[in-house]
């Protein structure tokens, strides 16, 4: 099946998210009753309104922490969609500080890092600062994924980068060659497919395949622009 080509931008992502939340209203009615924190919200629309309007008071922060706890114990796309909508302002701010690669690459990375962050932060640890923990974990995972796991190297954050090292620096010939070898290793055989499975275990088979193809194209472009005539391109073809 041939998929239509459509540019992924923050605007298109959140426009699609609003439509998805409308479709998930019935799932909320079915899944929310067992959770005490959801009791004051008879509909998904009432919950979204509470999360996205009004002051950022302690009750709202505790509600966010409760939803993260629910998502961690009940991996349904409903809770991910709710959290994406609630953290939209934070994601927009992080997006502006993230650079390197192309638009779709950065946005995909940001969304995947956010989903990993809400799976791993501890919602019981100081719930009133849950927003800060999610932001820091999202940004940390984004830069690690770009600079370390895939050895892309030319990506970083701006001045407000928490404690993440900025990987933008000059590399020696040996370091450059090592990076090329790491990319070639990922492109060979099942290495890259294994990376995708480990990094995104909750994605469907089709989604993992699309992520694999996206990363493969990106890595091959990176290899072509960084090779020094040593024959790496032929190895990775």
Residue 206 CB-half CA count within 13 A: 3
**What whole-number percentage of the chain has pLDDT above 90?**
39
- Whether residue 105 is predicted with pLDDT greater than 90 in this model: the reply is no
Domain range summary for the chain, segments of one domain joined by +:
10-157, 173-236
Contact 13, 107 (CB under 8 A): yes
Burial letters 126-144, b for 16+ CB under 10 A, else e: ebeebbebbbbbbbbbbbe
Per residue in 119-128, pLDDT (tens digit) is 999 999 999 9
Residue-wise pLDDT tens digits, 18-33: 889 999 999 999 999 9
Across the range 73-95, mean pLDDT stands at 91
Q: What are the structure tokens assigned to 56, written together?
A: 């950022």
- Span 38-47, pLDDT tens digits: 999 999 999 9
**C-alpha distances in Å from residue 57, one per residue of 45, 47, 53, 60, 64:** 19, 15, 11, 5, 11
pLDDT in tens, 136-182: 999 888 877 656 444 443 333 333 334 333 334 444 555 555 555 55
Are the CB atoms for 78 and 31 separated by under 8 Å? Answer: yes
pTM for the model stands at 0.62
Question: Average pLDDT of the chain?
Answer: 75
Nearest 5°: the CA angle 198, 201, 204 is 130
Higher pLDDT, 8 or 80: 80
What's the pLDDT at 225? 62
Predicted pLDDT of residue 73? 93
How much is the pLDDT for 62?
96
More confident site: 112 or 143:
112
């Amino acid at each position: 099946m041939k998929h239509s080509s459509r540019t992924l931008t923050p605007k298109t992502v959140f426009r699609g998210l609003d439509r998805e939340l409308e479709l998930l209203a019935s799932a909320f009615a079915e899944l929310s009753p067992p959770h005490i924190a959801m009791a004051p919200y008879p509909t998904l629309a009432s919950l979204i309104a509470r999360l996205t309007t009004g002051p950022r008071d302690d009750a709202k922060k505790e509600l966010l922490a409760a939803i993260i706890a629910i998502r961690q114990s009940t991996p349904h796309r409903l809770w991910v969609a709710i959290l994406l909508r609630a953290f939209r302002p934070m994601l927009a701010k992080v997006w502006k500080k993230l650079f390197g690669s192309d638009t779709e690459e950065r946005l995909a990375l940001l969304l995947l890092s956010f989903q990993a962050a809400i799976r791993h932060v501890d919602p019981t640890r100081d719930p009133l600062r849950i927003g800060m923990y999610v932001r820091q974990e999202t940004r940390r995972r984004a830069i690690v994924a770009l600079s370390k796991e895939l050895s892309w190297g030319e990506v970083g954050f701006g001045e407000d980068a928490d404690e993440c090292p900025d990987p933008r620096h000059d590399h020696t010939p040996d370091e450059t060659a090592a990076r090329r070898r790491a990319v070639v290793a990922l492109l060979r055989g099942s290495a890259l497919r294994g990376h995708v499975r480990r990094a995104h275990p909750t994605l469907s088979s089709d989604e993992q395949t699309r992520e694999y193809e996206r990363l493969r194209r990106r890595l091959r472009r990176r290899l072509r622009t960084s090779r020094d005539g040593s024959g790496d391109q032929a190895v990775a073809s």
